[in-house]
Chains A and B, each alone.
Chain A
């Protein structure tokens, strides 16, 4: 904009140079505009993620507010039954939370010990070749679609468990939780291993120099130093288990019931959403709104764990 007087005065002085300058200037202007335009487009692409978050929160809140106008929050939190589609409708989220909690605990009982031992072994004990083969293999195990694990839980693990414990029902939280645990192992082990590998070598060398064995070094030097990474890998595991859908929907059944017994069938929050989505509920009905209220609960739980993980990472970060 401030170019106008400049162009004007130079035109008066020397005509050809002015022409040339104006040419250069317009090229520069065009370039600058193009550069700015591209930067704007890239910023827009980056903002899509922000819009996604806003949209998620807005949609969940919007439908949930409508839901909570019909169902008081107190009933939602204290009722022990979840039967929104029955004539005698109850909306107690606890009945779904108990299923989510039970399957998650079973999964973590498998994933955390197994994942940690694997991480320590791969980071501190395994020969180079074993590690080079094991890492991509574990990555592949983590890449298998969850529906495949669901199939495995329902049609292989459950019959196997029934041979040991014949009274086990066809749908049960134990089998779903066990398979989910196996599924989460690669996440826990790969993040934990990364954290342990980031511990500087000279700390291990100092420990060895004092006469410590490998195991002592791994458990009392490397593990404490990598604690923030280990903690956040566990948190990620929890967050995965809470949000996992297909394994529990297939293997744990879709009947909501308030129980913490892993030998019984029960629905998780995610399984309930699947069950409703499979039916043909009209848009705007109370049944339709329940899945958004359940989704909001799920989002809040995972958000809580994400924040906790973030906090733990900061709190326990060792500075070398």
Chain B
């Protein structure tokens, strides 16, 4: 093609054309390089962040650190009350957010008629997802702490975070349900199922992987939330555990722990970051390391579930 271009295209023109193409190709290449660099930059930031915390935190990570209470002396301070608090708060959050979120998602996809109320609910869910988390903290401070008199307790924190992740669970549920083909529903109805039988025996089981992914991602977000918990006025120095949920005071299961004061991992970390002594900041790094490992492994599980089931389910 390069030897004999037809007619009027002269040598000079041909060279100019080739140069122009080469220039465009260079721009192409430069942009791709920019993209790779942006990706590398993100990777580098992550590696530095993680490496920094490993370097400062890992030497402090030990069984003593996990099994001791916070202390005035940095060397003997630990995260026992923090991780127990986080676990209990997450329990409340999951117990509240999962039924409410999944229920709302099922209602919006399977039951909701096309009317004003449905529109209001839908717009509302979208808007709630954009509300900053600290606003939820103010809501909890005004409503749960003072109006309902729940105080700065595990119940308050759990409810607050449940409301915070509700949009995540609702959206995940709806997206999972939307992928189920219509003929599954028609098949169930043809066999004489009622709507709830159809939903409980078909829709919920088939959308379960998607719902689980959403719930785990929501909980992973809730674990790291600091601002709303600080806003409700959670204490930062807690050197005791809430009452045990099992076999306390003669009952098999007790709910005293719901009303107990608490601390959680991010609050403990914040407390240590704001101390001027370097030793406490090393503690903060160690607590941060535990927190990052917690959230990243939850995210990894969620991503794993999604990939696993996306490959397996073929309608």
Contact surface of A with B, Cβ cutoff 8 Å: 31, 34-35, 38-39, 41-50, 52-53, 55-56, 59-60, 62-63, 114, 117-118, 120-122, 125-126, 130, 134, 136-141, 143-152, 154-156, 182, 185-186, 213-216, 218, 236, 239, 242-246, 249-250, 270, 273-274, 277-278, 280, 283, 291-292, 295, 298-299, 302-303, 305-306
Contact = CB atoms under 8 A, between A and B. Distances in A.
A118 B34 CA distance: 8
A199 B76 CA distance: 57
Contacts of B106: 42
B39 A277 contact: no
A246 B27 CA distance: 40
B107 A125 contact: no
For the complex of A and B, list the 6 residue pairs with the smallest distance between their C-beta atoms, beginning with the closest. Answer: A121-B35, A145-B224, A243-B132, A45-B103, A59-B142, A42-B107
Contacts of A148: 49, 53, 224, 288, 291-292
B295 to A, nearest CB: 6
Contacts of A242: 132
A39 B108 CA distance: 11
B142 A245 contact: no
Contact of A53 (B43, B53, B128, B285): B128
A47 to B, nearest CB: 7
B46 interface: yes
B34 A121 contact: yes
Contacts of A150: 270, 273
Interface string B88-124: 0000000000011111101110011000000011001
Nearest to A62: B142
> Is the contact region of chain A dominated by helix, strand, or loop, or is it mixed?
helix
B128 A52 contact: yes
Nearest to B294: A145
B31 A125 contact: yes
Interface of B: 24-25, 27-28, 31-32, 34-36, 38-39, 41-43, 45-46, 48-49, 52-53, 99-104, 106-108, 111-112, 120-121, 124-125, 127-128, 130-139, 141-143, 146, 163, 166-167, 170, 194-196, 217, 220-221, 223-227, 230-233, 236, 266, 269-270, 273-274, 281, 284-285, 288, 291-292, 295-296, 299-300, 303
A52 B196 contact: no
A246 B230 CA distance: 10
23 contacts: A44-B103, A56-B138, A60-B139, A121-B31, A125-B32, A139-B299, A145-B223, A145-B224, A145-B225, A145-B226, A146-B226, A150-B270, A151-B284, A182-B45, A213-B24, A242-B132, A243-B135, A246-B227, A250-B274, A277-B232, A292-B142, A302-B131, A306-B130
Contacts of B194: 31, 35
Contacts of B125: 49
Nearest to A307: B127
A46 B108 contact: yes
A298 B231 CA distance: 15
B124 A50 contact: yes
Given A138-B42, A141-B42, A156-B52, A53 B111 contact: no
Contact of A273 (B41, B107, B138, B143): B138
A246 to B, nearest CB: 5
Contact of A121 (B36, B45, B163, B221): B36
A42 B291 contact: no
B127 A306 contact: yes
Contact of B143 (A47, A55, A134, A152): A55
Which of B39, B41, B137 neighbours the largest number of chain A CB atoms within 10 Å of its CB? Answer: B39
